Structure 1
């Protein structure tokens, strides 16, 4: 199956911005967002809470947690966040970059190891867990704020903790001779932060084991606070600002001009990003169904799985195929606008990815909040 990129709504370009994370005034539930990044900074699902000048991502008992994503996309650049993680077996905190074609760069913490942060990256959702690497955290990540940073250029990714380089991966090390391509994240991606239950009993055993075990919904944190929580302070985005592609952000939006969805196919354009309703698509952004919810949603900017649909996400190995006939589907917080039906030959549909990648699990779990 292939998808028509034309039906996908263009993504707002990168803007240098410091998010103070002390207010939810510019936050909107994903079901209500129609693409105006001038008015909305974050979209999300779950129960974010403001406490002591910071944003708490919460996970009450038997819930699937909270996930937030920026409304603008970063095509290379630098992003840093002050974070105090959650704790407990099966409880996972994440701070990542994630694109609509499943390019991904991760920081993730499992709640049973508060001295380590895990890093990983993916190209178009192709599962390769050899790409992971751990970085030691200077002190307990639950009790103490630390600054976590991703520096992403067309040539390399660098992960830093408190200003100290913990890991670097060069594009030159990612050549896939079989596919004749660089397996390196290279397309516009949004900052996402989340708290999610890797140890949910219904998850795959490998995911539960990786997350430190089945979640205890009767833990002291649940009894005391009513939820697990991760604390996010200031998040700062600095765009790459290249003079020529790749990595420009001179206009209004990004879209792809070729189904391969690599950085040489990204267009920095003046196309609009705002749609009339959740029934609209990139082919007709002015469809107005008279509501902000529709069972046939298939191209919401940063959209999510429609109510009643099986949410996409690689943890389950099931892709949401709603709207496939129009060429673009949504799952979690992305549009599935990549195309190739083969695994190692290039881009893959979300349905083809079946590992325990934590970000993929987030995408799948986030969609459950709509059901």
Structure 2
């Protein structure tokens, strides 16, 4: 395991260059269009079938469906194949089954990120072949780097494992193969200020943290310089399962606070809008956890504008 001092010394350079992290419009700075929501409670994308990629956009490189799942391959400098969900969800459960890529400095990632740069991460650094990293950010705040934790995983580059996040207004939980490995409470993220709490979309991909053109700090974090002659380097993702605790056709920021209470969930088919209140719900079957705090919809009519 690497120490906190190692993480803190180099994380600023790393987060700024991660291929999966960006926003096209930050609603904390200006008025943005509403986000397209996942209007149903659940979605299962089986990437062993070409149709499994139907709800996903390829934002970089080429991603193909194979018998092992979606195939993400780095062959040369500049490759960073990435897919992104065409929808957002607002609190929920996300599970994916992955075999990470091998090779020095190759980063296999799954990132949940909102327009205002709330973020929940899984990162597998190929150089360290017995662990995976969990991380989070609130509103893009990078003033401290004590958020990352590493979790021991058996042969993540040779064996498929399931990785999951249960994200609610009160806490976020990370699971490996159904076992709870980390919990973040709302209050522990600077009394909620840095707690991820706005509608997220999902980005999955790989990138070369060890690329020779990256900063020295990024290459160090990635465990060394990537030699592309040792490639290709391939990550497979068999499936993604999404449970959306607040299904809606769209989500809109009603102010610039970045608080979950300011998000308006709209459904034109049912002529209703919704804001969020706390309640309790079970984690989907298939995990070995019992129950967790979730969220429910407090409805109001569309005409009221509430």
Query: When the two structures are superposed, what TM-score results if normalisation uses the length of structure 2?
Result: 0.74
Hey, what does 1:218 align to over in structure 2?
229
How do residues 1-371 of structure 1 correspond to structure 2 at under 5 angstroms?
3-5=29-31, 7-13=32-38, 15=40, 16-25=42-51, 27=53, 40-44=54-58, 45-127=60-142, 128-137=144-153, 139-176=154-191, 182-219=193-230, 222=231, 227-240=232-245, 248-249=246-247, 251-270=248-267
Distance 1:59 1:156, change over 3 A: same
Is residue 57–residue 86 contact of structure 2 (8 Å, CA) maintained in 1? yes
1:271 deviation in Å? Answer: 7.0
Is residue 13–residue 254 contact of structure 1 (8 Å, CA) maintained in 2? no
Is residue 78–residue 237 contact of structure 1 (8 Å, CA) maintained in 2? yes
Is residue 75–residue 187 contact of structure 1 (8 Å, CA) maintained in 2? yes
Is residue 14–residue 73 contact of structure 1 (8 Å, CA) maintained in 2? no
1:50 deviation in Å? Answer: 2.2
1:65 deviation in Å? Answer: 1.6
1:108 deviation in Å? Answer: 0.3
1:214 deviation in Å? Answer: 1.3
1:53 deviation in Å? Answer: 4.3
Contiguous gaps of at least 5 residues in structure 2: 1-25, 270-306
- By percentage of residues, which structure has more strand? 2
Contiguous gaps of at least 5 residues in structure 1: 28-39, 241-247, 273-371
Higher mean Cα deviation, 40-49 or 109-118? Answer: 40-49
1:24 deviation in Å? Answer: 3.5
1:175 deviation in Å? Answer: 2.7
Aligned length: 240
Is residue 80–residue 236 contact of structure 1 (8 Å, CA) maintained in 2? yes
After superposing on structure 2, the runs of 4+ consecutive aligned residues of structure 1 that deviate more than 4 Å are none
